[in-house]
Homo-oligomer: A and B are copies of this chain.
Amino acid sequence: MGDIQAVLRELRRGVAEIIDEERVETLIKNYYEKGENFYIKIGMDPTAADLHLGHTVTLQKMAFLQRHGAIIQFLIGDFTAQIGDPSGKSETRKKLDKETVLKNAKTYEEQVFKVLDPTKTIIMFNSKWANELRASDMIELASTYSVARMLERDDFTKRFRSETPISISEFLYPLMQGYDSVAMKCDIEMGGTDQKFNLLMGRHLQRVYNVGKEQAVIMMPLLVGLDGTNKMSKSLGNYIGVTEAPNDMFAKTLSISDELMWEWYRLLSTKTLEEIDELKSGVESGRLHPKAVKEALAMEIVAKFHNEESAIKARDEFNKVHSQNQLPSDIAEFSVQGPVWVVKALLECKLASSSSEARRHISANAVSIDQNKITDEQLQLEKGEYILQIGKKKFAKVKVV
């Protein structure tokens, strides 16, 4: 690509903040003018190898940069995961064995290569250099940063003020993380805006240790999750995992608000900003229905993590169930002894977890048999096959024998 300005424009898309943008531009120019590659570090916690769409915001920007000279240094932070806690106080951090770390790393690979180009990605483990460091090196490293500045990190500030104990080792982790940048000699480090402190630490330490360069930093905004308010996260449950089934991915995407949809387009779609603006004005003028636009986004997401065919199937399935009130194609089947009381049948088919719940559904007019609402709690089902349904999404086929 000859038009570097266009690359730089697209680079800035959706980015929250770039530190030392000039250097990023120089790196890209050098690639086009001299064929020199540059290195981008991204760090990953090896304790939970499960990516969601929030992670892919950064990965996608990296995939874009891979097309313009970047080699991704994908760093698995296995070193700290191997460290114990003699005080036995930390319940949050469990020591991982080498095997688990390697297994998680493998899972990461499978997931990130749905987005990243594997031929331009290097998987690295920081235990390689960190295990070589001695206590004296750790002390030298710690001498480069002051207690007061460390306490400026948001979470530390809060905990210190609220007198929630901070272990001194927690001050060493950001330093180790920054030291990774020294060992990796990366040109850029990327991460979410919540990582700013740690990302700048790498830049600081590259300077202190005379690496001969100071990493630029590209920060991506945090993707808002399904609930439309909070950062997408595993613990809040408002996420879409990159390994989720096509139908779930599609349905979850369709559930987001029209407003959030545009933010997702900007951060997750590969459509150009112009194309997105086009869609937006289409919706605003009434030419396009927002649901159609959301469907297109959902299909793009499913196609990215699965394939086109799955995307089409997921859309058809979704519409079959939700829009046309048709039955889904994969309904669980159960067999019960008849005649059977309808409440018991709902229990046996796992559509309700207690008789009182089943009865509540019936009195709330939420239960259908063969797509006909029922109101009689005492109903008995004779021999035959029936489709039981609660609300719009829960189905079961019951064979009364």
Contacts and interface: CB of A to CB of B under 8 A. Distances in A.
Given A133-B134, A146-B166, A146-B167, A85 B172 contact: no
A141 B142 CA distance: 14
A172 B84 contact: no
Interface residues of A, number: 46
Which among A133, A149, A172 has the greatest number of chain B C-beta atoms within 10 A? Answer: A172
Contacts of A149: 165
A79 interface: yes
B147 A160 contact: yes
How many subunits of this chain does the assembly comprise?
2
B163 A142 contact: no
Contacts of A84: 140
A144 B83 CA distance: 13
A143 interface: yes
Interface in A120-173: 130-131, 133-151, 160, 163, 165-173
Contacts of A145: 167-168
A90 B143 contact: yes
Contact of A86 (B89, B131, B144, B171): B144
B208 A140 contact: no
A344 B98 CA distance: 81
A209 interface: yes
Which among A82, A135, A137, A170 has the greatest number of chain B C-beta atoms within 10 A? Answer: A135
Contacts of A169: 139-143
Contact of A80 (B89, B133, B139, B175): B139
B130 A142 contact: no
A139 B86 contact: no
Contacts of A86: 140-141, 143-144, 208-209
A151 B156 CA distance: 14
Contact of A134 (B134, B171, B175): B134
A176 interface: yes
A235 interface: no
A87 to B, nearest CB: 4
Given A145-B168, A146-B167, A175-B168, A85 B135 contact: no
Given A86-B143, A86-B209, A143-B90, A150 B135 contact: no
Contacts of A83: 136, 139-140, 143
Contacts of A172: 138-139, 142, 168
Contacts of A150: 168
Contact of A87 (B165, B171, B208): B208
Interface string A181-225: 000000000000000000000000000110000000000000000
15 contacts: A79-B136, A83-B140, A86-B140, A86-B144, A87-B143, A133-B134, A135-B137, A139-B176, A142-B167, A142-B171, A145-B168, A147-B160, A148-B160, A148-B163, A171-B171
Interface of A: 79-80, 82-87, 89-90, 130-131, 133-151, 160, 163, 165-173, 175-176, 208-209
